[in-house]
Structure 1
Amino acid sequence: MKEYDRILERVEKPARYIGGELNAVVKPWEQVKVRVALAFPDIYEIGFSHLGLRLLYHLINEQADYLAERVYAPATDMEQELRKAELPLFTLESRRSLAEFDLVGFTLQYELSYTNILNMLNLAGIPLRREERGEGDPLIIGGGPGSYNPEPLADFFDLFLLGEGEEAILEILEKIALGKEKGWSKQDIKQELLKVPGVYIPEYYTVEYTDEGKIAAINPLSPAPPVVRKRVVRDFDRAYLPQKELVPWVEPVHDRAMVELFRGCTRGCRFCQAGMVYRPVRERSPAVLTDYLKKIIPQTGYDEISLTSLSSADYTKIEEVLATLADCFAAQNVRLSLPSLRIDSFSPELAAHFQGERKGGLTFAPEAGTERLRRVINKNLTDEQIMRTTEAAFTAGWQRLKLYFMIGLPTETDEDLQGIVDLARAILSVGRRLHGPKAGRVQVTVSASTFVPKPHTPFQWRPQLSLAETKRRQSFLQERLVGRGLQFSWHDPTLSVMEGVLSRGDRRLGKALAKAWELGCTFDSWPDRFRWDLWQQALSATGLRTEDYLRARSYQEILPWDHLNAGLEKDYLRREDQRAEEEKITLDCRTRKGCTICGVCSHMGAGPRLAGGE
């Protein structure tokens, strides 16, 4: 322990690594049956903000037979000190090496954090490749959105969990505890884990490739199921909520109390993976939300509550909840925030609940510059709705608006790009007109990311823009979005290329991933740390090309994730892709009679549950 203390004296933010936060849990090591290290492959400030990891942390620690500790990716200065001192990466609670745990669980939140996973394993002295690890090494499990196509990581992980962790984690730990008690080998434990729905063990599936590098077959080995289906919490009112909440030493990205209003979204945006894989919609009742926050706020001292979801204003009882929480916490000066607000659900009255007298910036996401392209992506917004909403925001006192768009969406033309410019200028003009003498303070910021086709979406078969074409379209906007009151920001196109490669990648990418890490790639999601030249070198060295992964797929082609099921019918995804081509809107199944036949309700045995009882 003293060795670690000496290291901490030499790093920039030692509080990232000391643990001991309010409501942190330290359990007796020898008195539990299974020990879990929950790992987030980014620094403390980012990983601490992840609600899912904190939820699993408390759920596991509330069980007498298990313990959970946390570890985040060390910053560069800490990594250098650990390597210099030849000390392993350790958990915050007990300062034990990750190698001492029975299970190390990584949150797969973003593809460009994958090299950090390899770096953390290496720092802990755990062999990277599964086949190189022995009986004394921990099992490595992954969960989160990346588990819906974990194939680029298949060489390094023992298992993945598809779906919602709190629904399955205790079943997984029970199997591991039983195996330890009976003296089973790791292979015996894995065979037992195959019986847990939602668990995917990649070594039980072999993949064959054609001469062109396409997948010829995915073969399950007995006793693995041919298809692994995700796990779903059916009743969100009964879903686990911790009795306590962690309070950090170092200010995280989101430093506030957080609670999920609901999970899932049925808006049906065709580019959105989260809106597809987190179905069905399940809302928490106002009473459950209020009772939980009444417990958590006094324990933590937070002065802000974030009501999270994929589209918070879609919550059936949003006005009721905001009014109730305002009454409960007004005397304590606790603010409310809705991090996800759609243009067609915005109202000044709603925004007033969480903005109060402060008129900071508002963010909206039109996604595309023309009505035609918004129909393609199933974003059912007209120019008139956008202008009416932004006018209402300016009238209510806001002066700064940020508009999110994507470039490279299917069927996009330069006319659609010009639509982004025209829309931004029209909104700026309205703001200046309404603010009169204060017109000089009005600002419209356009942010343009590059569309990345994601697995389990209607656009999973579509091509991604090439690097050259991405740069051309960015330049198109840069040249036109200039002038007082207008700002333009864009995403590094090389990062988008690598995100696209990894998100739709197959198992062959494992070698390129390991090579990129060996060459020095870590923190790839940070633009100032990303090394496009090293990734190109890694891909070349392993005989792979970015264009092989950015290309279009046919409906008949076997996709790397075809044996992993998010509950959606493939026919539904094909139909939605075809409706995109026809510029047809598919309505939200919560707001129309009938069903879109996406397959989730029938496959999962779980349907939408709304707070109003519908």
Structure 2
Amino acid sequence: MTVCTFDELLLGVEKPSRYIGTEVNARRRNNRGLNFLLAFPDAYEVGMSHHGLQLLYSILNAQPNINAERCFAPWLDREKQLRLHQLPLTSLETQTALADFDVIGFSLQYELSYTNVLNMLDLGQIPIRCNCRETKHPLIIAGGPCCFNPAPLVAFIDAFVIGEGEEIVTEIAAVVAEGKKKKLSRFGVLENLAAIPGIYVPSLHKKNQVIKKRTIPDMNKWIHPEKPVVPLMQTVHDRIVLEIARGCTRGCRFCQAGIIWRPYRERNPSLLLKIAEKALSATGHDEISLLSLSSGDYTYIKPLIQSLIRKHYAQRVALALPSLRVESLNETVIEEIKRIRKTSFTLAPEAGTEKMRRIINKGNTSEDLLTTIDKVFSAGWKSIKLYFMIGLPGEGQDDLEGIVDLSHAAMRAAKNRGQLTISLSTFVPKPHTPFQWEQQISLEETYARQNFIRQRIKNRRLSVKWHDARMSFLEGIFSRGDESLGLLLEKAFQNGCRFDGWSENLRFDLWRKSLQETDVDTEHFLRARGTTKALPWDNINCGVSREFLLREKQKAQKSLPTADCRFGECQLCDVCDFTNIKNILATADNNQILPPVEKPTDQSVAGQKTYRFSFRKIGLARFLSHLEISAALTRSFRRSDLPIIYSAGYHPHPKISYATATAVGIESFQEYMDVAVGNYTGDLALLKKTINSALPQGLEINEIEIIPSGKKSLAASLYGFIYELRLPADMDNDRLEIIKNNIDVFLTSPSFYIPRLSKGVMANKDIRPFIKSIFFDTQEKKIEYTIRFSQKGSLKPLDIIVHVAGFSKAEAENIHVIKTRTILV
């Protein structure tokens, strides 16, 4: 078997930036403390968008004797590589094998990530079942909303964290570190973990022993993360996440998050402004997302938005509110957000009729929705997304018609000013909700209801998207599943199921096969449950009483509302002790919020100049794409307070132009870009140092110069490139002689045609005019060549490697390509 280096393997995968781990603000330490791995069982771009991961990473690494690192589920091509070369899955920061960590903590946000959990353990060379692990293996813990029904995973997870993790994560670390110091057995460490409130250890706790969730009483005491890790690639949510509140007391009866994260706790606006300022300074991001189950409910939402927009207007920092109730979006919010750019709006009417909204305790009306749509489009937005659920308890044909009718009414309210997207998801009953006893509609019924709506909504300005019914089917099985599903999960993993939450990767055929092989009755898990029967999650206490959930179920059957306890009397859900655990609304005085000011003027372009940057991408940075490099450089400029000039229009962007885009995998010692800069009087040497300190490892500014007015643009100045091809060190002399002869033939040929695909048609292209020179150093085993650039294009290094030197495409992956110079004239 050929042994490949880490770099060589990255050449063969999609999006290698997923695996590099050289991000700005990533922590790399090698002390002898506790090694704690935060594992997210989904792709990098999903995991790095999750606020909880950034939060725990920051908290753990703030401790002097803890090394916290990250690991994400490897994509299918990466897994194939690891298995082919018998290599273990490793952490991002130090490439440490999973089996060498002391503790691994999985974040369980979605039931369809469970097969990835088993796959990551297996790739990490750790036994997937708890009873097969020894003291030498890391402890496997899990936290997140899925842990409120841990039953399907008890065979694989040593300990579950029930509730919020800010405090408990350091308590876990202390117990494991003490066990490591005292050389306790695995059983001994688990015994000590089981004594921590909020920890459930299946192998030690009795079936009827209730574990109460952990709750952070006051969100104002937690400011992490101050320096979020800046992803190398574009993530699902590529922005600063500012958690303005946690919990919700609106009481939507289908919503698990609104129950398990009670009570409702807001952060004070003064703290939020400080956190935002620090995070923007540490990352260079150009957007802030306000995180809450319902952002519009925040007590000081209007002044907070005004302050954030006005404070960071000069830096063109946009604001996004991803979770909004229909009635909470008003003119003030809309006008402030559009000052920078029009971020997306998703409105959630949830149901199409007033009847259904009463059943689910969703207090908005159709008129609220239509009024809001008119406001948004009147303010200049071009698109809105509406979110509906199908399969809710009590839903009838008239309610499906209601979704259709309301969608058409929304289209009329839009008045042809933009695009509406109708998003349909299938209701999945969740533990610890008033609907936890309800039946989930079948796969066939889901298809029927989706088709009913799709066939009746046909308008070029009204598109319909729907959640994959097969995913909802599987989610429903595991959401309310019991311990017997461990066999099904293990079988599905063994059969090859991975990334089940991605439509393009869901192998439903393999799931059907696994269901047959384990004889699982799916109807058993999707059925309605009796309210007097025991449930698999009865040993988990989320703080809200069973009696309250039953009362809410009965109210739903009678279409009766339940008021929000923030603004009325207590609804006796039992989550509050009214001493430490209680609703907390933000407080502010006149000095905590920026006073109203005139709309900030646009950045002056007086004194605008063009700065030409020469930069390099070396080492692991060569695996970054052009877009990823551009984003990293732009963020570094923002962190350096360089007054970049922005374009006007719907989505302002920095005025930056590049000489060329160098392909992924190619090192480059010299790239060029021109940047339009406003009135900047600082020292260029200091600017270079500041920018370089804000760039990921391997990306570096070589020099900066100011380009006189009237000088040719980069595109007009570009002449060509000098490349160096470093051949494998073990290449024998016979092969070197063949390569030399191939190059000699090329140099003596007046023309040299190679096949090239152009506009879908294969044609022969003469590449000889592009090559100025080629030199082959057989001693150093490297080829140096100079190519010309023209408006008709240029040559790729692969053209030289394959067609001139005579390598196969497979061999080309082992040749190190370096652009040593970009030639300007």
- TM surpasses 0.5: yes
On the 8 A contact 1:257/1:302 being kept in 2, the answer is yes
1:247-287, Cα deviation, whole Å (9 max, x unpaired): 11111111111110010011000000011111111111111
Quick one: distance in 2 between partners of 1:28 and 1:361?
Answer: 42
Quick one: distance in 2 between partners of 1:499 and 1:24?
Answer: 33
Displacement of 1:554? 0.7
Quick one: distance in 2 between partners of 1:604 and 1:127?
Answer: 44
Displacement of 1:116? 0.4
What is the match of residue 93 of structure 1? Answer: 93
Structure 2 CA distance for partners of 1:360 and 1:158, relative to 1, 3 Å: closer
Quick one: distance in 2 between partners of 1:579 and 1:567?
Answer: 20
What is the match of residue 102 of structure 1? Answer: 102
Q: Which moved more, 1:296-305 or 1:88-97?
A: 296-305
What is the match of residue 130 of structure 1? Answer: 130
Q: Counterpart amino acid of 1:600? A: V
Q: Counterpart amino acid of 2:542? A: A
On the 8 A contact 2:391/2:426 being kept in 1, the answer is yes
Displacement of 1:393? 2.3
- Pair 1:408-2:384 in alignment: no
What is the match of residue 19 of structure 1? Answer: 21
What is the match of residue 585 of structure 2? Answer: 610
Q: Considering Cα pairs closer than 8 Å and 6+ residues apart, tell me whether 1 or 2 has the greater RCO.
A: 1
Q: Counterpart amino acid of 1:609? A: I
Quick one: distance in 1 between partners of 2:14 and 2:418?
Answer: 38
Quick one: distance in 2 between partners of 1:96 and 1:188?
Answer: 26
Q: Which moved more, 1:534-543 or 1:568-577?
A: 534-543
1:7 aligns with one of 9, 13, 28: 9
Q: Counterpart amino acid of 1:408? A: G
Displacement of 1:360? 6.1
Q: Which moved more, 1:378-387 or 1:352-361?
A: 352-361
- The alignment partner of 1:204 has SS state of coil
What is the match of residue 436 of structure 1? Answer: none
Quick one: distance in 1 between partners of 2:286 and 2:414?
Answer: 31
What is the match of residue 262 of structure 1? Answer: 245
Displacement of 1:171? 0.8
- Structure 1 residues 434-453: aligned runs within 5 Å: 439=416, 441-453=417-429
Equivalent pairs counted in the alignment come to 587
On the 8 A contact 1:567/1:603 being kept in 2, the answer is no
Q: Counterpart amino acid of 1:227? A: V
Structure 2 CA distance for partners of 1:145 and 1:23, relative to 1, 3 Å: same
What is the match of residue 211 of structure 1? Answer: none
Quick one: distance in 2 between partners of 1:361 and 1:603?
Answer: 38
Quick one: distance in 1 between partners of 2:137 and 2:189?
Answer: 13
- Pair 1:323-2:306 in alignment: yes
What is the match of residue 76 of structure 1? Answer: 76
On the 8 A contact 1:376/1:584 being kept in 2, the answer is yes
Q: Once superposed, what is the RMSD of the aligned Cα atoms?
A: 1.6
Quick one: distance in 1 between partners of 2:377 and 2:588?
Answer: 36
- The alignment partner of 1:537 has SS state of helix
2:220 aligns with one of 231, 234, 237: 237
- Pair 1:294-2:273 in alignment: no
With normalisation by structure 2, the TM-score equals 0.70
Asked which structure has the greater CA Rg, the reply is 2
Quick one: distance in 1 between partners of 2:325 and 2:227?
Answer: 31
Quick one: distance in 1 between partners of 2:480 and 2:338?
Answer: 39
Q: Percent identity?
A: 48
Quick one: distance in 1 between partners of 2:513 and 2:577?
Answer: 46
- Structure 1 residues 6-85: aligned runs within 5 Å: 6-29=8-31, 31-32=32-33, 34-85=34-85
Displacement of 1:470? 1.1
Q: Counterpart amino acid of 2:134? A: G
Q: Counterpart amino acid of 2:322? A: P
What is the match of residue 728 of structure 2? Answer: none
On the 8 A contact 2:334/2:379 being kept in 1, the answer is no
1:112-145, Cα deviation, whole Å (9 max, x unpaired): 0100011111101101100011111110000011
- The alignment partner of 1:109 has SS state of coil
Q: Counterpart amino acid of 1:44? A: Y
- The alignment partner of 1:160 has SS state of strand
What is the match of residue 263 of structure 2? Answer: 280
Structure 2 CA distance for partners of 1:390 and 1:562, relative to 1, 3 Å: same
- The alignment partner of 2:521 has SS state of coil
1:361-400, Cα deviation, whole Å (9 max, x unpaired): 5321100010000000000122222222222223333342
On the 8 A contact 2:269/2:588 being kept in 1, the answer is no
What is the match of residue 468 of structure 1? Answer: 444
What is the match of residue 194 of structure 1? Answer: 194
- Structure 1 residues 532-551: aligned runs within 5 Å: 532-551=508-527
1:600 aligns with one of 575, 580, 584: 575
Displacement of 1:613? 7.4
Displacement of 1:497? 0.5
**Structure 2 unaligned residues grouped into runs of 5+:** 590-825
Q: Counterpart amino acid of 2:487? A: K
Quick one: distance in 1 between partners of 2:380 and 2:63?
Answer: 50
- The alignment partner of 2:361 has SS state of coil
Structure 2 CA distance for partners of 1:21 and 1:409, relative to 1, 3 Å: same
Structure 2 CA distance for partners of 1:335 and 1:538, relative to 1, 3 Å: same
Structure 2 CA distance for partners of 1:292 and 1:125, relative to 1, 3 Å: same
What is the match of residue 210 of structure 1? Answer: none
Q: Which moved more, 1:515-524 or 1:340-349?
A: 340-349
- The alignment partner of 2:177 has SS state of helix
- Pair 1:529-2:505 in alignment: yes
- The alignment partner of 2:166 has SS state of helix
Structure 2 CA distance for partners of 1:485 and 1:242, relative to 1, 3 Å: closer
After the TM superposition, which segments of 4 or more aligned residues of structure 1 sit over 6 Å from their partners?
Answer: none
Q: Counterpart amino acid of 1:410? A: P
Structure 2 CA distance for partners of 1:24 and 1:283, relative to 1, 3 Å: same
- The alignment partner of 2:532 has SS state of coil
On the 8 A contact 1:260/1:309 being kept in 2, the answer is yes
